[in-house]
Amino acid sequence: MKIEEAFRSASFSGAEEQAAAWMMEHPHQAAGMTVRELAAEVYVSPATILRVVHKCGYQGWRQFSADLLLYSESVKQRPVSINMSRPFGQQGSAAAIVSSIRSLFEQTVREAAALISLKDVEKAAGILSQADRIFVFARGDSSLTARSFMNKLVKVNIHPILATEYGQEIEESRNMRAGDVALFVSYHGQTRSLVRCASILREKSVFSILVTKEGISPLAQKCRLVLPVPAHEEKRRIANFHSRIGMEFILDVLFSVFYQRSYVRFEQHKSMLDQSR
């Protein structure tokens, strides 16, 4: 498409390159913003956005954003190059499996990065930073991914509570209070007990964050802030390759932004831990 070719052929400065790269990775979101909103999201000036528009051969934002929206729709229609649920079959060499799994990792991370809203990730990190207590809700395979995130928090002296550990998540949600934060990790967003917990927390005005596949789900409708991941994995699968990689990626990004907010304090704590070994 014209706009994709324009992005690739234009010569941008550092700030312009930053803005152009973000628009290429988030075309649907960018097309729905004003110039000022987009500039704030990417941390550049509105003038920088307009320079990108002009360098791409457009007179103004209206036509540019319209073509950007068309581009976003064309990207959605591009076929997925690998079966995320069954990346290999009964036949084939080990080398072919290595290639398939590598492609699965690369494509999942690329798509997950494109779905990230910087504003939402920073908001989630800020809310977690100010939480009195962090409760994590996750079942099945998602609980393993959630535990990895929790382990990172423990190493910086933050001790989250796995609300679903003993099957008492309903009781735990009723015990939560103002100042607490809930982090739900659920790929499909369909688990009834988690939906019920989210409903209880919504009634209690406890802030809830959800990491889940993109799209509408009962759990996504109950949580205050949703961090989406790609949604190419089916329930009938060889293993949770795609869902795990996508959710681990967004949780790693979330932890990194969270860590950066208290960088000096966390570095000092980790240094103390290292010295005590």
1 has a pLDDT exceeding 80: no
Tell me what the mean pLDDT of segment 12-20 comes to: 88
Given a contact cutoff of 8 angstroms between Cβ atoms, the answer to whether 106 and 98 are in contact is no
Cα gap 205→208, rounded to integer Å? 9
Q: For residue 273, which phi and psi values (nearest 5 degrees)? A: -65, -40
Say what the pLDDT of residue 270 is: 87
Judged against a pLDDT cut of 60, whether residue 36 lies above it is answered with: yes
Cα Rg for the chain, rounded, in angstroms?
21
- CB-hemisphere CA count at 13 Å for 180? 22
Angle (CA) 2 111 124, round 5° = 115
155 has a pLDDT exceeding 70: yes
In the chain the beta strands, taken as DSSP E runs, fall at 134-137, 161-162, 181-185, 207-213, 225-229
pLDDT tens for 135-149 read 999 999 999 999 999
Of all residues in the chain, the percent with pLDDT exceeding 70 is 96
pLDDT of residue 78: 56
> Is the pLDDT reported for residue 77 higher than 60?
no
Name the phi and psi angles at 191, rounded to 5. -60, 120
pTM: 0.72
Q: Using the predicted structure, report yes or no on whether residue 81 has a pLDDT greater than 70.
A: no
CA distance 105 to 55: 34
Kindly give, in sequence order, each residue whose CB lies less than 8 Å from that of residue 26, ignoring residues fewer than 6 positions away.
Answer: 114, 115, 116, 117
